[in-house]
Structure 1
Amino acid sequence: MRLFTLLICLCLVTPVWAQKHQISSKELASVDAYVQQLMKDWRVVGSSVTIIHKDKVIFSKGYGYRDLDKKLPVTSRTLFGIASNTKLFTAMGAAILHDEKKLDLDKPVRNYFPEIRFATTELDEKLTLRDMLSHRSGVPRWDGVWSGSGYSLQEIVDRLQYLKPTLGFREGYLYNNNMYAAAGAVTARVNGTTWSELIRQRIFEPLEMKHSYFSFEDAAATGEFASDYFVSLADSTIKTHTKDAHCDCWAPAANIVSSSEDLSHWIIAHLNGGTYNGRRAFSPKALAETIRPNNIASKQMVFDEVFYGLYGLGRSSTSYKGHVIVSHGGVISSYRSQISIAPKDSIGIIVLTNTAQGSSMANAAVYGIYDRLLKLGETPWSQKYQMEYKKGLREAAHEADSLRGLQIKGTRPGHDLASYTGKFEHPAYGTMEITLTGEKLHLTFRDRSQDLEHFHFDQFWAAQDPEYPILFNGRLMRLQFLTNGSGKIDRIRTGISTDPEVEFVRK
């Protein structure tokens, strides 16, 4: 509790001179040169960077290409998937309804959505929208449930009852996209619309965000949607990423596609009490509700310059070199985004990229821009993030090597290969199918299709992808086939993505 209080106090303290600081053309030129260097450092194909000061855009520039093959440049109107920055809109939608007393963020969500069920009685009886929007349910990510599923939003809500918590209720921070999806469904129910209609009517329209969309398909139809890319881990070449299929299931958590031009309206409203171009979208009270800390997001400091993080509703806050920073990042397909506000300094920064390595570039850009605009001294952020990136690759490789080290050499499968085939089902994940082609078992799960290699005894693992040597978001997928009392294989125990292990039962 003492740490929580200290964090809040530090986030409220900002030097008075910073609030009066005027930004010069020389400082903006320095920003431009800095971003150009970051593009080279991280091999980012395309990026859009916009800076807002008070109620005006003072810098907006596209870098690189939205389509590398056609050499189409990025502009301020180029569309990018903003991924988890969608959460800011979902949280604001809830805060607006709370402000209008149409719902109470601190009342159990079953007051508004009676049929919703969770994995424990305590969550059924006590879980609130504030809990869901500040990641304090105690339920881990379970991203494998929705990723590539094709589920509807309602189908995700129906599956929450199978997603068990790993922390006590309100005992910590566990980021959870499924809870955000469900929170969006709750606000839609209260508003009497769909979630997208709520956001469009209450936020997009008053903020004149006329070129923001709720699906990749709608964005692509405009001709302004950036292609997305990644740097292959196999041969270091830049390759086009196959976009993830649109799925309503993650809409309130990650679906919005927008441009830095449209998002600048959103930031201007944040810096001006919820008003853009003379029209109010949300009240200062609703805005304050989203920023007010409810949870401690990080209990260790990765960098000395950035203090421990707090989490409000759809955004985190911290102290950067003594300045309050309210921000959120986003990752979907190979799109990376960072939307950051220094409220006491009346500065907002938007960085959108179309390359998988762009997360580090976007983070380095935001901190480096603050350094230059606020005269904080120029920390070598690109080098710092390069060190963290390489550390992450080493740790992922070490995890894979550690798994291989557990292998008992010289063993054979305990059954003939045909015995492992069939369809296996889990109530949240759906169906996994194992087939046999020649002497090779093959796994099909949603949009994933992989050969299986024998590990030892009745364990197999998914063959590695040469582009991504570490499968399923940094984790090799190992399948343990289990038998019933008759010695017949009737279950598969495995973990999808970084989710806890579960059992798929033969259909």
Structure 2
Amino acid sequence: MAAKRALLAIGLALASSVAAAADPPTSAQLDSVVDAVMARYHLAGLAVGVIDHGEVVYTRTLGERVAGSGQAITNDTLFKIASNSKAMTSTLLARLVQEGKLRWDDPVRRYLPDFRMADPWVTEHMQVGDLLTHRSGLREGAGDLMLWPEPNDFTRQDIVHGLAYLKPAYSFRAGYAYDNLLYVVAGEVAAAAGHDHYETLLRREVFEPLGLARCQIGAWNRDAVGNVAEPHEREHDRNVVINADDAEIPNITSAPAGGVRCSLTDMLSWARNWLAPTPQQLQWLTPEQRQIVWTPYTPMPISAQKRAWNGTRFYAYGYGWRIADMDGVFTVSHTGTLSGMYSAMMLLPERKAGFVILMNSEAEDARTVLIEALTKQFTSPNDAHDANWFADQLDRASSTAREAAKPPVSQAAKVDDLRSQLGRWRDPWFGTISLCPQGDAVRFVAAKSPRLAGTVMRAGQRYLVHWDHGDTDAWLSFPTDAKGVLHMSKIDPQADFSSDFEDLSFHREHGCG
């Protein structure tokens, strides 16, 4: 631990005195960034808030909660913050540590006796802190098909059970690969140690003490709460709602990994608690626990883009936070990504500055541009590159990726061609699927994930499944003998890692009928 805290001290020392002394960005400068991104990406809705020297100095909201509705985004509109929920889960655990209800180095099995990883040694030695640091040995996004697409029928108990069947991609604590399942496990550890449901604990231990009055977790009524943004995607030059909420919003299995919804006002309060905590907040979460969650535990790869744009030399994951230097300035941040919803929080602790971004559009590049252009206002205010320059750079990179990811030409597979492969198949963690005729087509249907249903297509000598709901299409690799294994893989290797078809191994149980 001493060595890790020394690394944190090195990271803090990177903060430049120039950035700390720089004049605050003006509202006109911030408006220029926000307006450029809104116009460039035609976002359905956007909320941005900026903090400097511990005070909120800027908020801006644009667009609509539902495109075409006339319902304007406000500072109190609720957005899905997705993986920005992870820092709240780690903070809940920190509160329980502070209360003496658990220890960071406790074995997970002390709280969850049924917890198993594929390797028995890892099972016994996985500690509570390991759940939060993306160094378990699992492949990036392993098992995420138990979380998404929603809705599905997987429970948190299914996840605890399924982990034993996910094969490691590297050695325990030997590298970085982002995962969501172990944050769900962390939520279950909190529930066991705190003797209450994760959702109840998060409200009691985090939302209420910090006054995050609009934040929601668990089951709630959309219309009773009100002012809720819906996710959108761009279709034929217009924004359309996708995955719209029902009036009764259910509790979701993925909540500890990415299930919180908050407003801009809430998220700015959450950020200020980290940048300029009051005496009461320092009692609520002590400086010791704050330092622990911001300690860099797992080195992360530094992309060529980060090196070129920000001169990043240090990049690591703490407990629910990413820790890095940007233009020589120490930063703590995270992003959140769900279909049609993107969020970001960037903190510059030495200056007590930072910002929050919330959007209800399928627009990863828009978020990246906002993060870069807003961060430069603090770390390199004389940088000549504006928001459109960053957007142009991303466009050039993504055009090459889009060309490589074009779907193959295919047609519906004939039932007779797949007669020997039809039937019910089972994977030990994902459960059963059926590959059975429906009219002249062969349909793929997942028993516990209703959105993973689609038509089997043939492309040359290969087969794929084209999903009904627009999820990432997948190759089907059929076995050559009756006892063989059916494997799957993403057609687009650059697709979201949560489409982790590569971890599936299906054995045929019986035929259709």
Give the shorter-chain TM-score range: 0.7 to 0.9
1:259 to 253, 258, 263: 263
Matched, 1:353 2:354: no
Identify which range, 154-163 or 76-85, moves more after superposition.
154-163
* Counterpart position of 1:213: 216
Could you say if the C-alpha distance between residues 102 and 442 of structure 1 is closer, same or farther in structure 2, counting changes exceeding 3 Å? Answer: same
Aligned-partner Cα distance in 2 for 1:176–1:269? 26
Identify which range, 495-504 or 253-262, moves more after superposition.
495-504
Aligned-partner Cα distance in 2 for 1:388–1:246? 36
Identify which range, 442-451 or 301-310, moves more after superposition.
301-310
Matched, 1:494 2:488: yes
Question: What secondary structure sits across from 1:193 in the alignment?
Answer: coil
Q: How does 1:282-361 map to 2 (within 5 A)?
A: 282-303=285-306, 304-306=308-310, 307=312, 308-357=314-363, 359-361=364-366
* Counterpart position of 1:482: 479
**Following TM superposition, by how much is the alpha carbon of 1:109 offset from its aligned partner in structure 2, in angstroms?**
1.2
Q: Deviations over 1:386-436 (max 9, x none)?
A: 4335534532541456x77xx9x9xx9896544433222212112212221
Question: What secondary structure sits across from 2:305 in the alignment?
Answer: coil
Aligned-partner Cα distance in 1 for 2:391–2:133? 26
Question: What secondary structure sits across from 1:239 in the alignment?
Answer: strand
The amino acid across from 2:393 in the alignment is: M
Could you say if the C-alpha distance between residues 23 and 223 of structure 1 is closer, same or farther in structure 2, counting changes exceeding 3 Å? Answer: same
Aligned-partner Cα distance in 2 for 1:66–1:199? 26
Aligned-partner Cα distance in 2 for 1:4–1:295? 13
The answer as to whether partners of 2:82 and 2:337 remain within 8 angstroms in 1 is yes
Aligned-partner Cα distance in 2 for 1:371–1:76? 24
Aligned-partner Cα distance in 1 for 2:405–2:22? 47
The answer as to whether partners of 2:415 and 2:442 remain within 8 angstroms in 1 is no
**Following TM superposition, by how much is the alpha carbon of 1:266 offset from its aligned partner in structure 2, in angstroms?**
0.8
* Counterpart position of 2:373: 368
The answer as to whether partners of 1:36 and 1:63 remain within 8 angstroms in 2 is no
The answer as to whether partners of 2:218 and 2:250 remain within 8 angstroms in 1 is yes
**Following TM superposition, by how much is the alpha carbon of 1:455 offset from its aligned partner in structure 2, in angstroms?**
3.5
Aligned-partner Cα distance in 2 for 1:182–1:18? 39
Aligned-partner Cα distance in 1 for 2:384–2:199? 41
Could you say if the C-alpha distance between residues 414 and 42 of structure 1 is closer, same or farther in structure 2, counting changes exceeding 3 Å? Answer: closer
The answer as to whether partners of 1:274 and 1:282 remain within 8 angstroms in 2 is no
The amino acid across from 1:363 in the alignment is: T
Q: Deviations over 1:432-461 (max 9, x none)?
A: 12221333211122212211112455x421
Q: How does 1:76-475 map to 2 (within 5 A)?
A: 76-140=75-139, 141-142=141-142, 143-148=144-149, 149-215=152-218, 218-219=221-222, 221-232=224-235, 235-243=236-244, 248-273=252-277, 280-303=283-306, 304-306=308-310, 307=312, 308-357=314-363, 359-373=364-378, 375-389=381-395, 391-392=397-398, 394-400=400-406, 416-445=417-446, 446=449, 447-455=451-459, 459-463=462-466, 471-472=471-472
Q: Which runs of 5+ in 1 are unaligned?
A: none
Question: What secondary structure sits across from 1:72 in the alignment?
Answer: coil
Aligned-partner Cα distance in 2 for 1:216–1:43? 32
Q: Deviations over 1:46-77 (max 9, x none)?
A: 01111123443211121111122211111100
Aligned-partner Cα distance in 2 for 1:220–1:175? 35
Aligned-partner Cα distance in 2 for 1:491–1:17? 59
Could you say if the C-alpha distance between residues 315 and 279 of structure 1 is closer, same or farther in structure 2, counting changes exceeding 3 Å? Answer: closer
The amino acid across from 1:492 in the alignment is: L
Q: Deviations over 1:121-148 (max 9, x none)?
A: 1211211122220101111212223213
The answer as to whether partners of 1:361 and 1:382 remain within 8 angstroms in 2 is no
The answer as to whether partners of 1:66 and 1:226 remain within 8 angstroms in 2 is yes
* Counterpart position of 1:68: 67
TM-score by length of 1: 0.87
The answer as to whether partners of 2:46 and 2:357 remain within 8 angstroms in 1 is yes
Could you say if the C-alpha distance between residues 305 and 390 of structure 1 is closer, same or farther in structure 2, counting changes exceeding 3 Å? Answer: closer
Aligned-partner Cα distance in 2 for 1:219–1:339? 25
Q: Deviations over 1:220-270 (max 9, x none)?
A: 5422111221123xx444322124885622110000000010111111111
The amino acid across from 2:252 in the alignment is: D
Aligned residues: 484
* Counterpart position of 1:503: 505
Aligned-partner Cα distance in 2 for 1:326–1:395? 29
Aligned-partner Cα distance in 1 for 2:403–2:342? 23
Matched, 1:36 2:35: yes
Aligned-partner Cα distance in 2 for 1:5–1:56? 29
Question: What secondary structure sits across from 1:107 in the alignment?
Answer: coil
The answer as to whether partners of 2:56 and 2:268 remain within 8 angstroms in 1 is yes
TM-score by length of 2: 0.86
Identify which range, 106-115 or 414-423, moves more after superposition.
414-423
The answer as to whether partners of 2:146 and 2:154 remain within 8 angstroms in 1 is no
**Following TM superposition, by how much is the alpha carbon of 1:273 offset from its aligned partner in structure 2, in angstroms?**
3.7
Aligned-partner Cα distance in 1 for 2:61–2:75? 6
Question: What secondary structure sits across from 2:383 in the alignment?
Answer: coil
Aligned-partner Cα distance in 1 for 2:484–2:250? 33
The answer as to whether partners of 2:267 and 2:356 remain within 8 angstroms in 1 is yes
Aligned-partner Cα distance in 2 for 1:273–1:285? 13
The amino acid across from 2:13 in the alignment is: L
